[in-house]
Amino acid sequence: MTVTQADARRAAEQYREEGYAILRQFVDGDDLQALRAETARIYAEGLKHPATWRHGNLSFEILPEADFGQRYVLQAYWFSWISEFFERFRRSERYLTLLEPILGPSIKQVAQQIHWKPPGAGLTGYRFHQDVRFREARDAYRDVVASTVNTGLAIDPSTRDNGCLQIIPRSHTRGYLGLSDDSEGGQIMKGLTAEDELTRAGLHPDDIIWVEMEPGDIAIWGLLTVHGSLPNSSDQDRAFAISSYVRADTSDRGEWAFRDGVSTPLGPRPVLCKYEQLHDRPEPHYVHDKWYADAG
């Protein structure tokens, strides 16, 4: 483990003040190489599916070759169900060290994703938004903003050219601003945020921070922190692993990660995390909604 308790306390202080923090070399050495290799394997698993596929909480978001000329994997969700590496990694000691100063020792995980930005895919930008918009089942949480931390781990180099994360510091102090809510269906991967949209919300585009990271660096941000990213304009992919954790006693949802500081594995069956599809259609199935149609 390369992140110390002192590192984590400093990050927690910056997180509370600025709405985000960055820790360098959260993962390095052989662990980083294993992380990158397993990420590539998961991408290859996703490519086996001709369209978006779900099974329980596990899901691959696919852009099919019929519409894009070749098949791309944009996102994977809850891949710990097919990866022993990530199942252990999501609840490793390094995550407890990072999260405990903010969430305490009993923590659930409500989201696990990898975002890829394959060169040529096109739909790889994210409009500026606040993640609290994705916590639609508000009655399942108590004090959802204060009790949730999002983490983003750079698996590939994360640069301006390949669409690194962008954050507006201290934007979490402004409350919910409704950014991107007027986009088509609230879809944050269609179109880009215009500067005047930020200005109308009382934000200054010059305050945007480009969160450039090396593989193994990690960023944390809150549900009210305004963030987004541009599409990948380079010839290099950008894999970025996002995990969202919540203080266990405030949430009726999520997979356990730590119980009183003890690493806790997945149970025999998925539990409800964010999306109701787990109850509606838990069996393996394909989704053909073509949300990307007419994307700008």
CA gap 111, 57 in Å, rounded: 9
pLDDT for residue 289 is more than 90: no
Q: Residue 98: what residue type?
A: L
Strands 107-115 and 165-167: unpaired
Q: Name the residue with higher pLDDT: 255 or 182.
A: 255
Query: Residue 133's closest CA among 256, 226, 52?
Result: 226
CA gap 49, 61 in Å, rounded: 9
Torsion sign, CA atoms 15, 18, 20, 22: negative
Residue 146's CB: how many other CB atoms inside 10 A?
15
Q: Please tell me the predicted confidence (pLDDT) of residue 171.
A: 98
Q: Name the residue with higher pLDDT: 281 or 243.
A: 243
pLDDT for residue 261 is more than 50: yes
Q: Please tell me the predicted confidence (pLDDT) of residue 92.
A: 98
Lowest mean pLDDT of 67-71, 98-102, 213-217, 244-248, name the range: 67-71
Q: Please tell me the predicted confidence (pLDDT) of residue 295.
A: 58
CB 32 within 8 A of CB 25: no
CB 100 within 8 A of CB 1: no
Q: How far is CA 82 from the centre of its chain?
A: 18
Q: How confident is residue 291, by pLDDT bands cut at 50, 70 and 90?
A: confident
pLDDT in tens, 172-219: 999 999 998 875 545 788 888 989 999 999 999 999 999 999 999 999
pLDDT in tens, 34-87: 999 999 999 999 999 999 999 999 999 999 999 999 999 999 999 999 999 999
Strands 255-259 and 107-115: antiparallel
Q: How far is CA 22 from the centre of its chain?
A: 15
Q: Please tell me the predicted confidence (pLDDT) of residue 184.
A: 55
Torsion sign, CA atoms 46, 49, 52, 57: negative
Q: Name the residue with higher pLDDT: 127 or 293.
A: 127
Q: Please tell me the predicted confidence (pLDDT) of residue 296.
A: 47
CB 101 within 8 A of CB 9: yes
pLDDT in tens, 106-163: 999 999 999 999 998 988 999 999 999 988 888 899 999 999 999 999 999 999 999 9
Q: How confident is residue 103, by pLDDT bands cut at 50, 70 and 90?
A: very high
User: Domains of the chain, with CATH numbers?
Assistant: 5-287 (2.60.120.620)
CA gap 44, 51 in Å, rounded: 14
Q: How many CA atoms within 13 Å lie on the side-chain side of 121?
A: 28
**Burial classification of residue 120, based on how many CB atoms lie within 10 Å of its CB (0-12 exposed, 13-18 middle, 19 or more buried):** exposed
Beta strands in the chain (DSSP E): 20-23, 52-55, 58-63, 72-77, 107-115, 126-129, 148-154, 165-167, 209-211, 218-221, 227-229, 240-247, 255-259, 262-263, 285-287
**Burial classification of residue 202, based on how many CB atoms lie within 10 Å of its CB (0-12 exposed, 13-18 middle, 19 or more buried):** exposed
Query: Residue 147's closest CA among 196, 107, 97?
Result: 107
pLDDT for residue 263 is more than 90: yes
Residue-wise burial string across 162-177, b where 16 or more C-beta atoms lie within 10 A, e elsewhere: bbbbbbbbebbebeeb
End-to-end CA distance of the chain: 43
Q: Where are the alpha helices (DSSP H) in the chain?
A: 5-18, 29-47, 65-68, 84-89, 93-103, 195-200, 277-280
